């Protein structure tokens, strides 16, 4: 039987400042849009041709049974649709909101391929699960039996929480440790509230806590508790820490005031959404209001920064990316959203340095063209000599991607093997690392990825742990 950790458990129920507003909002929504939304969902679901070659399903990382729940929705059998949808997805209402569907299910819908516009699968998934919450169809976590085995989960992002849900439903004792003060990982402090409302995540956190999952928040593993202590106190450890080391820009002037990291900027904005006081926001350091903003990068994080800056009241928002539109890593849908909101994209442009002294005044931009493809087949950007210019800026946000922290050193666990990119090595089916009974999932294994992949990993790792628990229980019974 596992020992109890000495750290304080934090109740997350009180951490729902938006709850009342959210309840009210939902009521208003139901009253005004209820029938309209239902009709729209049925109409969209009815567009599914039940083609028999469900590319949508095979391109969903969770292999959601999309054609079946679309058919049930079209027939108005929403509760059954919800049952089918939640069978393969722990957080369908979250995926429905923030999966880049144009690269996954919807991008592979045969109706889309035939030029008639995709069935809006994500919106239907969101609608049926939101309805399930309103109607009380979402089942609380009530294990049929309590078991003695315990699992420590390091990281309360989607990977850790999906595993926690599955393990706790099977009756295991689950404790989630996180260095933040709220559970949810990047779903809470990375992804902006206009894409994923925070009460949607906090509702899931509360469901887990009510179901017996313990949360130890404000706990930085490696500082407040060691990895070895967790191993002593629990039968299994699951690492789901994500990737947080921001890539930097080795350019002259990069240390000036007014040049900030995307994660700091987005975290501050999300905290403000929770009603927290954030000194760097109050001082203007992490606030775009009234500023000329330049965001550097072409991924989804950059898109979130530009769209947040628009909402904060920036006077202008430009996004610099060194390749062209067709070669950017971010979702095309997000680019379109950003453009519609007034963001200007400056393609084929790379920062060379920054003007101003202690405080940034502009970005020195080098114009690029696309040259020959590199080893991965992607065209490499090349500098166009003599085409440099300065883009004026009061706030520059670096959104150049994330790398893993060096966990073996930080946690003093040399046996935890990592790849040459620093991601943790784990079996791709069971997610077990080289250390027995230690598992790893999500971004810390894949590198910066998606919520839906973290959910898939978390579910699979939980299943592998449960297989082990059941196998050893069978062995004991046979002795
Ligand atoms: C700005 C931004 C926008 C994004 N938008 C989207 C989107 O629209 N759609 C999408 O699908 N994906 C999006 N992603 C990617 C997605 O958020 C991640 O792929 C996903 O959250 C990874 O889940 P995870 O569980 O592996 O890690 P995370 O969500 O990063 O959670 C890891 C948790 O571990 C905790 N932790 C880390 N180290 C320690 C430690 N030593 N001790 C204790 N706790 C620790 C962290 O505090 C964090 O809570 C976005 C990412 C960013 C940065
Ligand atoms: S989980 Fe994501 S990819 Fe899968 S059906 Fe839902 S929105 Fe599409």
Task: Note the pLDDT tens digit of each residue in 339-356.
Answer: 999 999 999 999 999 999
Copy the structure tokens of residue 311.
Answer: 């909402």
Q: Out of 43-52, 119-128, 233-242, 310-319, pick the least confident.
A: 43-52
- Which of 100, 176, 242 has most ligand 1 atoms within 8 Å of its beta carbon, as the pocket-test mutant? 242
Average pLDDT over residues 206-214: 98
Q: Give the position, in ligand 1's atom list, of the atom nearest the Cα of 186.
A: 29
pLDDT of residue 4: 45
Residues with C-beta less than 6 Å from any ligand 2 atom: 60, 62, 64, 66, 89, 95-96, 99, 101, 104-105, 121-122, 125, 452
Average pLDDT over residues 219-240: 98
Pick from 132, 122, 120, 131: nearest CA to 46: 120
Ligand nearest to the CA of 56: 2
Q: Give the position, in ligand 1's atom list, of the atom nearest the Cα of 331.
A: 8
Q: How many CB atoms lie within 10 A of CB 151?
A: 26
Ligand nearest to the CA of 224: 1
Query: How far does residue 185's CA lie from ligand 1's centre (Å)?
Result: 5
The span from the CA of 111 to the CA of 244, in Å, is 38
Average pLDDT over residues 379-395: 93
Copy the structure tokens of residue 393.
Answer: 């800026």
Query: How far does residue 298's CA lie from ligand 2's centre (Å)?
Result: 23
Residue 219 in this model has a pLDDT that exceeds 90:
yes
φ/ψ (deg, to 5) at 317:
-135, 120
Q: Are strands 245-246 and 402-403 parallel, antiparallel or unpaired?
A: antiparallel
424 close to 405: Cβ distance less than 8 angstroms: no
The span from the CA of 6 to the CA of 131, in Å, is 40
The helix/strand count (H/E) of the chain reads as 18, 16
pLDDT-derived band of residue 19, with 50, 70 and 90 as boundaries?
low
Q: Give the position, in ligand 1's atom list, of the atom nearest the Cα of 402.
A: 53
Average pLDDT over residues 25-44: 73
**Residue having the nearest C-alpha atom to atom 49 of ligand 1:** 185
pLDDT of residue 46: 87
- Which of 96, 157, 442 has most ligand 1 atoms within 8 Å of its beta carbon, as the pocket-test mutant? 157
- Which of 44, 54, 62, 129 has most ligand 2 atoms within 8 Å of its beta carbon, as the pocket-test mutant? 62
Pick from 244, 264, 243: nearest CA to 398: 264
Q: Give the position, in ligand 1's atom list, of the atom nearest the Cα of 190.
A: 1
Ligand nearest to the CA of 154: 1
The span from the CA of 345 to the CA of 181, in Å, is 35
Query: Which has more pLDDT, 38 or 14?
Result: 38
Q: Give the position, in ligand 2's atom list, of the atom nearest the Cα of 106.
A: 8
Pick from 216, 176, 202, 186: nearest CA to 274: 202
Q: Give the position, in ligand 1's atom list, of the atom nearest the Cα of 446.
A: 26
Residues composing the chain: 479
Mean pLDDT taken over the chain: 92
Residue 6 in this model has a pLDDT that exceeds 70:
no
Average pLDDT over residues 397-411: 96
Q: Give the position, in ligand 2's atom list, of the atom nearest the Cα of 96.
A: 7
345 close to 325: Cβ distance less than 8 angstroms: yes
Copy the structure tokens of residue 218.
Answer: 């404000």
Copy the structure tokens of residue 428.
Answer: 């791709």
- Which of 121, 196, 456, 458 has most ligand 2 atoms within 8 Å of its beta carbon, as the pocket-test mutant? 121
pLDDT-derived band of residue 21, with 50, 70 and 90 as boundaries?
low
pLDDT of residue 378: 79
H-helix or E-strand spanning residue 304: helix 300-312
Average pLDDT over residues 302-327: 95
87 close to 72: Cβ distance less than 8 angstroms: no
pLDDT-derived band of residue 25, with 50, 70 and 90 as boundaries?
low
Residues with C-beta less than 6 Å from any ligand 1 atom: 98-99, 154-160, 177-180, 185-187, 190-191, 195, 220-222, 240-242, 266, 300-301, 304, 442-443, 449-452, 454
Q: How much is the pTM?
A: 0.92
pLDDT of residue 10: 54
**Residue having the nearest C-alpha atom to atom 30 of ligand 1:** 242
pLDDT-derived band of residue 326, with 50, 70 and 90 as boundaries?
confident
Q: Give the position, in ligand 2's atom list, of the atom nearest the Cα of 125.
A: 6
Sign of CA dihedral 47, 52, 56, 60: positive
φ/ψ (deg, to 5) at 391:
-100, 115
pLDDT of residue 113: 83
Query: How far is the CA of 180 from the CAs of 69, 154, 184, 417, in angstroms?
Result: 36, 11, 9, 25
Ligand nearest to the CA of 119: 2
**Residue having the nearest C-alpha atom to atom 8 of ligand 2:** 105
pLDDT of residue 129: 96
Query: How far does residue 242's CA lie from ligand 1's centre (Å)?
Result: 5
Q: Give the position, in ligand 1's atom list, of the atom nearest the Cα of 241.
A: 34
Q: What angle do CA 143, 146, 149 make, to 5 degrees?
A: 115
- 201-240 burial, b if ≥16 CB within 10 A, otherwise e? bbbbbbbbbebbbbbbbebebbeebebebbbebbbbbbbb
Please name the residues in contact with 438: beta carbons below 8 A apart, sequence gap of 6 or more. Answer: 231, 236, 237, 238, 239, 416, 432
Residue percentage of the chain with pLDDT more than 70: 92
Please name the residues in contact with 203: beta carbons below 8 A apart, sequence gap of 6 or more. Answer: 16, 133
**Residue having the nearest C-alpha atom to atom 3 of ligand 2:** 60
How buried is 250 (Cβ within 10 angstroms: 0-12 exposed, 13-18 middle, 19+ buried)? exposed
Query: How far does residue 281's CA lie from ligand 2's centre (Å)?
Result: 34
């Amino acid at each position: 039987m596992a020992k109890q950790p000495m750290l304080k458990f934090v109740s997350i129920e009180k951490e729902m400042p938006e709850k009342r507003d959210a309840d009210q909002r939902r009521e208003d929504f139901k009253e005004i849009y209820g029938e309209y939304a239902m009709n729209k969902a049925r109409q969209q679901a009815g567009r599914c041709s039940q083609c028999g070659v469900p590319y949508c399903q095979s391109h969903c990382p969770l292999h959601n049974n999309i054609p079946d729940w679309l058919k049930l929705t079209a027939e108005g059998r929403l509760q059954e649709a919800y049952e089918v949808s939640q069978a393969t997805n722990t957080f369908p209402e979250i995926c429905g909101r923030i999966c880049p569907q144009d690269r996954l299910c919807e991008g592979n819908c045969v109706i889309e391929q035939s030029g008639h516009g995709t069935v809006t699968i994500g919106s239907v998934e969101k609608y049926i699960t939101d309805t399930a919450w309103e109607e009380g169809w979402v089942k609380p976590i009530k294990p049929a039996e309590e078991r003695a085995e315990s699992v420590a989960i390091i990281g309360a992002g989607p990977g850790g929480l999906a595993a926690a849900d599955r393990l706790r439903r099977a009756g295991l004792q689950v404790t989630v440790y996180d260095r933040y003060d709220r559970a949810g990982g990047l779903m809470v402090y990375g992804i902006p509230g206009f894409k994923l409302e925070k009460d949607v995540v906090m509702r899931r956190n509360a469901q887990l806590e009510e179901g017996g999952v313990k949360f130890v928040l404000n706990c930085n593993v490696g500082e407040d508790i060691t990895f070895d202590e967790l191993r002593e106190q629990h039968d299994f450890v699951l690492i789901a820490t994500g990737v947080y080391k921001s890539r930097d820009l080795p350019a002259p002037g990069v240390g000036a005031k007014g040049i900030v990291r995307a994660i700091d900027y987005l975290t501050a904005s999300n905290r403000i959404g929770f009603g927290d006081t954030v000194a760097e926001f109050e001082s203007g350091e992490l606030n775009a209001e009234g500023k000329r903003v330049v965001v550097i990068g072409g991924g989804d994080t950059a898109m979130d920064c530009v769209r947040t800056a628009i909402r904060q009241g920036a006077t202008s928002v430009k996004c610099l990316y060194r390749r062209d539109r067709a070669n950017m890593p971010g979702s095309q849908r997000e680019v379109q959203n950003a453009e519609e909101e007034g963001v200007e994209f400056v393609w084929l442009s790379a920062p060379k340095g920054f003007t101003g002294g202690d405080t940034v005044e502009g970005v020195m931009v080098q114009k690029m063209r696309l040259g020959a493809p590199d080893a991965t087949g992607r065209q490499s950007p090349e500098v166009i000599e003599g085409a440099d210019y300065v883009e004026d800026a009061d706030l520059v946000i670096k959104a150049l991607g994330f790398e893993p922290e060096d966990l073996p050193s930080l946690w003093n666990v040399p046996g935890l093997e990592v790849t040459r990119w620093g991601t943790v090595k784990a079996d791709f089916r069971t997610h077990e690392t080289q250390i027995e009974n230690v598992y790893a999932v999500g971004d810390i294994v894949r590198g910066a990825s998606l919520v839906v992949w973290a959910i898939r990993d978390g579910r699979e790792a939980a299943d592998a742990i449960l297989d082990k628990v059941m196998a050893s229980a069978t062995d004991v019974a046979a002795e």
